[in-house]
């Protein structure tokens, strides 16, 4: 049997599979729109399940709709080496975010099948439900339930903007599984993903050996003033919630800049009520996304935000409600998994650099319950969460090759 690291994936097959999934929810600008648990998400899930069954895998689905495709190993009692990612996208998402990691995992299985290679441990490829946190907040909720970060009840009850819950939508699309969430033993977890930032391409490196991820805090803020007539209401008698929102956006941006170069601070959503051109807005809903590699800095950003918002609300006479809906501590991945990624990269003579992830990934949650690492490949101009998101076929192949090598390092080859 050839050395595990000499096995070669079929990069064309992987690229073509990604392009096949990209047809589901394809947008005019060449991206993907497959919001979690919509009919398009179901269509992509169904295609993945079909392909995995064709590859001889058994399929299990847990109570959060996470899909597990298993290729058995020689030791039926051994815990699995797992890989995967997500199939749901942002509203203006790209063809690679999430999909790449899922299909790179399937390519590992297809390659082992082609070569008749048996592993000691089973190989699991997983599709995590609602990684993006766009339709249902927060992001990575299902890997979070799997890792014990959230209760199953909390996960299933997350509503979308129409009040439909994850639980209801899982039932509707036929992915409400019965496997108890989090009971599946994981020996090691690897996730392949595009970097979604500019570093690898700028440094002309093919592989990012991901040693960890920055922490994140997500908040939902509601500012409440008084709707009133835009004409007769004097400027000094207004309780204008949108004015408060404008100052909140400026405050959040300042907090990010004040903690440069590693802080990120974003107001991604804003909903002004009643949103009528001649009514002074009475209520505004906004979201805040803070990121930083250092938990103490995140805590300081939190304090600065709350103090700043208290002052804004007091000055304008608004009621302020802040709910924190995500508190993801900075993550340090497991040394042995990071080493396996590095060795698999060096075995292929790919250029590499260590890095931490700016984006959150399901791997960030799984790291709490299993040794975990990630494999990054570059993306064109570092752009992601955008329909123009793109990657070179040679990068797609390289990441899949490293994933195969790293997984076999942990799965054992007969």
Shortest separation between residue 28's beta carbon and ligand HGY, angstroms = 22
Q: Which does 360 bind (CB under 5 to 8 A by kind): Mn ion, ligand HGY, none?
A: ligand HGY
Chain-centroid distance, C-alpha 151: 19
**133 counts as binding ligand HGY under rule CB under 6 A:** yes
Q: Which is nearer to ligand HGY, 131 or 201 (CB)?
A: 131
Q: Which does 133 bind (CB under 5 to 8 A by kind): Mn ion, ligand HGY, none?
A: ligand HGY
Give strand pairing partners of 284: 223, 272
As given in the structure block, the two tokens for residue 264 are 């990120």
Part in contact with ligand HGY (CB under 6 A); list of ranges 125-133, 144-152, 176-184, 264-272:
125-133
Q: Which is nearer to ligand HGY, 123 or 126 (CB)?
A: 126
As given in the structure block, the two tokens for residue 319 are 């009621």
Shortest separation between residue 361's beta carbon and Mn ion, angstroms = 6
Shortest separation between residue 46's beta carbon and Mn ion, angstroms = 20
Q: Whats the size of the chain, residue-wise? A: 414
**195 counts as binding Mn ion under rule CB under 5 A:** no
Q: Which does 98 bind (CB under 5 to 8 A by kind): Mn ion, ligand HGY, none?
A: Mn ion
Closest alpha carbon to 30 in 84, 114, 89, 83: 89
Give strand pairing partners of 353: 208
| Number of residues located near ligand HGY, criterion CB under 6 A | 6
Q: Which is nearer to Mn ion, 109 or 194 (CB)?
A: 194
Site map (CB under 5 A) of Mn ion, residues 69-108, x = contact: ----------------------------xx----------
Shortest separation between residue 118's beta carbon and Mn ion, angstroms = 31
Q: Which does 139 bind (CB under 5 to 8 A by kind): Mn ion, ligand HGY, none?
A: ligand HGY
Q: Which is nearer to Mn ion, 89 or 111 (CB)?
A: 89
For the chain, first and last CA: distance in Å? 8
Closest alpha carbon to 56 in 142, 117, 12, 143: 117
Q: Which does 191 bind (CB under 5 to 8 A by kind): Mn ion, ligand HGY, none?
A: none
In the set 124, 132, 195, 201, which binds ligand HGY (CB under 6 A)?
A: 132
Site map (CB under 6 A) of ligand HGY, residues 38-77, x = contact: ----------------------------------------
**131 counts as binding ligand HGY under rule CB under 6 A:** yes
DSSP state of 180: P
CB count in 10 Å sphere of residue 213: 26
Give strand pairing partners of 60: 68
Q: Which is nearer to ligand HGY, 190 or 290 (CB)?
A: 290
**How far apart are the C-alpha atoms of 360 and 365, rounded to whole Å?**
9
Shortest separation between residue 65's beta carbon and ligand HGY, angstroms = 17
Q: Which is nearer to Mn ion, 111 or 384 (CB)?
A: 384
Part in contact with ligand HGY (CB under 6 A); list of ranges 50-58, 129-137, 144-152, 251-259:
129-137
Q: Which does 169 bind (CB under 5 to 8 A by kind): ligand HGY, Mn ion, none?
A: none
CB count in 10 Å sphere of residue 82: 28
Interface of this chain with ligand HGY, residues 319 to 378, rule: CB under 6 A: 359-360
- Helix, strand and coil in the chain, % to nearest 5: 35, 25, 40
- CA R_g for the chain: 23
In the set 17, 139, 287, 401, which binds ligand HGY (CB under 6 A)?
A: 139
**How far apart are the C-alpha atoms of 165 and 170, rounded to whole Å?**
9
Q: Which is nearer to Mn ion, 98 or 405 (CB)?
A: 98
Q: Is 212 helix (H, G, I), strand (E, B) or coil?
A: strand
Q: Which is nearer to Mn ion, 293 or 358 (CB)?
A: 358
Contact, 5 vs 405, CB < 8 A?
yes
CB count in 10 Å sphere of residue 8: 15
Q: Which helix (DSSP H) or strand (DSSP E) does residue 302 occupy? A: helix 295-316
* C-alpha torsion angle, residues 354, 32, 189, 288 (rounded to 10): 70
**215 counts as binding ligand HGY under rule CB under 6 A:** no
Strand runs (DSSP E) across 225-351, as ranges? 228-229, 264-266, 270-273, 279-280, 283-292, 319-328, 331-332
Residues that bind ligand HGY (CB under 6 A): 131-133, 139, 359-360
Residues that bind Mn ion (CB under 5 A): 97-98
């Amino acid at each position: 049997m050839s050395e595990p690291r000499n096995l070669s994936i079929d990069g064309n097959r992987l690229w073509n599979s990604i392009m096949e999934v990209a047809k589901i929810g394809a947008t005019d600008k060449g991206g993907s729109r497959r919001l979690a648990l919509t009919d398009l998400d179901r269509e992509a899930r169904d295609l993945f399940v079909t392909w995995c069954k064709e590859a001889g895998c058994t399929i299990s689905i847990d109570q959060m709709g996470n899909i597990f495709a298993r290729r058995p190993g020689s030791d039926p009692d051994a815990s699995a080496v797992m890989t995967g990612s997500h199939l749901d996208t942002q509203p203006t998402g790209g063809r690679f975010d999430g999909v790449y990691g899922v299909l790179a995992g399937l390519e590992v299985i297809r390659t082992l099948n082609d070569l008749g290679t048996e592993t000691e441990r089973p190989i699991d490829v997983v599709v995590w439900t609602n990684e993006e946190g766009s339709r249902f907040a927060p992001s990575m909720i299902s890997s979070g339930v799997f890792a014990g970060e959230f209760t199953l009840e909390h996960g299933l009850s997350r509503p979308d903007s129409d009040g439909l819950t994850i639980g209801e939508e899982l039932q509707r699309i036929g992915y409400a599984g019965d496997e108890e969430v989090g009971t599946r033993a994981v020996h090691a977890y690897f996730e392949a993903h595009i970097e979604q930032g500019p570093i690898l391409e700028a440094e002309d490196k093919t592989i990012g050996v991901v040693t960890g991820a920055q922490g994140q805090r997500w908040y939902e803020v509601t500012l409440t003033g008084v709707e009133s007539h835009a004409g007769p209401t004097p400027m000094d008698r207004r309780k204008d919630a949108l004015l408060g929102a404008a100052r909140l956006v400026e405050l959040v941006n300042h907090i990010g800049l004040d903690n440069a170069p590693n802080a990120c601070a974003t107001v991604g959503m804003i909903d002004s009520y009643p949103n009528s051109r001649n009514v002074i807005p009475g209520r505004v809903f906004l979201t805040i996304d803070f990121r930083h590699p250092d938990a103490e800095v995140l805590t300081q950003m939190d304090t600065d935000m709350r103090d700043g918002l208290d002052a804004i609300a007091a000055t304008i006479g608004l009621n302020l409600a802040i709910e924190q809906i995500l508190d993801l501590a900075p993550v340090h991945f497991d040394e042995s998994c990071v080493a396996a990624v590095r060795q698999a990269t060096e075995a292929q003579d790919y250029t590499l650099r260590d890095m931490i992830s700016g984006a959150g990934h399901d791997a960030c949650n799984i790291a709490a319950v299993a040794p975990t690492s990630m494999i990054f490949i570059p993306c064109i101009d570092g752009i992601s969460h955008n329909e123009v998101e793109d990657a070179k076929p040679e990068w797609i192949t390289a990441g899949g090759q490293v994933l195969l090598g790293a997984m076999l390092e942990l799965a054992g080859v007969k």
